[in-house]
Structure 1
């Protein structure tokens, strides 16, 4: 297995329940979009993810990052005298948080209002979300073809300011409970993310565990006489606040004797992952106070009879706060 040959990370990596031990950490296997397509498909099937280096043009990603932080600049989130594209957090700024969500992100205030409104800005929803390089690669790797590859309207454009709470442990099918498990998620880091900058981390062979968690729950649900609809609703109710499997990635790794696979990301990288791939994030400890920015973009095969259901599930049932 390629993961086992990588050295331990050179910086400490923190999650919500503490510092990850060296034996709890490995590295993501990097792939090139130019490798033979069948090899990439086999890797995605084997590992549950595909970490693609330089799939998108770097300049396009940095332009979107610049647009985002230019849009958020009136909130005062950026350090004075810094460029929007750098996304440097102003430590002295009070974000006017009030209450926080399951990931410790503030509710209310201009900072959050602008971050939510950014989803509907043309440069994002009509431009970045529909980037032809990403759409084309998804169409090829899945075999769906250009005409049948549908990007779901709902996306998750998320920032993570330094020292904020990390994203908890989850897999995406939790948020697509009323759709079939045939979607593909592209997590796109919008800018460079240092190893300790709060990027996503993936549980080693986490897609197999996610499938088992799903199966075990539905087996129990059927044994108790629940209908399929009742089982779906019961599954979501038994998740933690916001749809988490666990808030603590360290304890989760210990419980399941698996490592978290990590990396540093560069603008242009993309991680594809399957609906059951378990992932989380580290706490953003970037020493330069860089704000981590990334987005979850989901794709389905529109030729399938459940394509409309998958789109509908995003709108009606997706709790989404803990993703990406």
Structure 2
């Protein structure tokens, strides 16, 4: 087992005040789901919370290989310095924010996302298994393991899972974050798995979510207006609910103050977060000191029941 050397670092307890875009929110700790949980628990947690946070689901060593490949590329392009033998965190210290007027532009580096050690993580077989466990037509209690696999194969509507070929690979510098949104307005028919390719504490820009916002009546106005819109290109500001998460309540008539409750965590390489496409989420602002790149990837998936003719 590869131990996270930063796991014992001193960080603030939860609930924690977290910077997010134009404001700050008080966030509680996300509910983790153990990687050896039954199918029923995986499905129940995802359906109830609107996300599934599986700690240590992927082998940390595999994710570390992907991270090293990405950092090697960024080092060659002058965005990080040479920190051979340094601790993991300092290997992502920023050398330069821009070269020739541009940042790393990892979203446009699909050949890097498809490099073998990176793609091995982004399309890891265990991600397919997780999606099958959560979305399989076999939903009866105790239906897991070999029983679930047989049921899926023999069902009249077998489950089809395909990874979207585009990978949303990101290197986020200090001062930036992704604003609050739901994925449905960008990708109405896709599922999202967010992968930290670094040990991402809240100060580096971890994921923030509102549990239950995918089904709670408190957000009916939001889903009936913004949620039914189509905002175009992924990640554009036009698709954000607002710059300051604290404006969501007044802008979308959320009168239940307990419903708009944010959660996050200090995430580690190997963790996996499956996000319902109706769940409100954003990322914390990168406020790292010394300044570091936050490296992560959004992977998106086609999950459907393919009916036989």
TM norm structure 1: 0.71
Instruction: Report if aligned partners of 2:199, 2:267 keep a CA contact under 8 Å in 1.
Output: yes
Q: Is the 8 A contact 2:59 2:270 kept in 1?
A: yes
1:153 aligns to 2:165 (yes or no)? yes
Q: Say yes or no: does 1:89 pair with 2:93.
A: yes
Q: Which runs of 4+ in 1 moved over 6 A?
A: none
Change (3 A) 1:36 1:250: same
Correspondence for 2:177 among 154, 166, 170: 166
CA distance in 2 between counterparts of 1:164 and 1:189 reads 18
> Is residue 14 from structure 1 mapped to residue 19 from structure 2 by the alignment?
yes
- Distance apart, 1:242 and its partner CA: 4.4
1:61: Cα distance to partner? 0.6
Pick from 57, 77, 80: which aligns with 1:78?
A: 80
Does the aligned pair in 2 maintain the 1:169–1:244 contact within 8 Å?
A: yes
> Could you tell me how far 1:142 is from its partner in structure 2?
1.4
Residue in structure 2 matched with residue 228 of structure 1 by the alignment: none
* SS of residue in 2 equivalent to 1:193: coil
Q: CA deviation at 1:298?
A: 1.7
Separation (CA, whole Å) in 2 of partners of 1:232 and 1:137: 29
Note the aligned Cα RMSD (angstroms). Answer: 3.2
Which residue number in structure 1 is paired with residue 135 of structure 2? Answer: 142
TM-score (norm 2): 0.74
Assess, with a 3 A threshold, how the Cα gap between structure 1 residues 270 and 253 changes in structure 2: closer, same or farther: farther
Change (3 A) 1:282 1:120: closer
* CA pair 65-120 structure 1, distance change in 2 beyond 3 A: closer
Q: CA deviation at 1:124?
A: 5.8
Q: Work out which of the residue numbers 220, 224, 229 in structure 2 matches 1:215.
A: 224
For 1:1-324, what aligned pairs fall within 5 Å after superposition? 8-9=14-15, 12-20=17-25, 24-82=26-84, 86=89, 87-90=91-94, 93-96=96-99, 98=101, 108=102, 111-112=104-105, 116-123=109-116, 126-143=119-136, 145=152, 148-161=160-173, 163-177=174-188, 179=189, 183-208=190-215, 212-216=221-225, 241-252=237-248, 256=254, 257=257, 258-304=260-306
What CA distance in whole angstroms lies between the structure 1 residues aligned with 2:286 and 2:250?
A: 22
Q: Unpaired runs of 5+ in structure 2? A: 1-12, 138-151, 154-158
Pairs aligned (count): 266
Q: Unmatched 5+ residue regions in structure 1? A: 1-6, 99-107, 219-230, 306-324
Contact 1:48 1:273 in 2 (8 A): yes
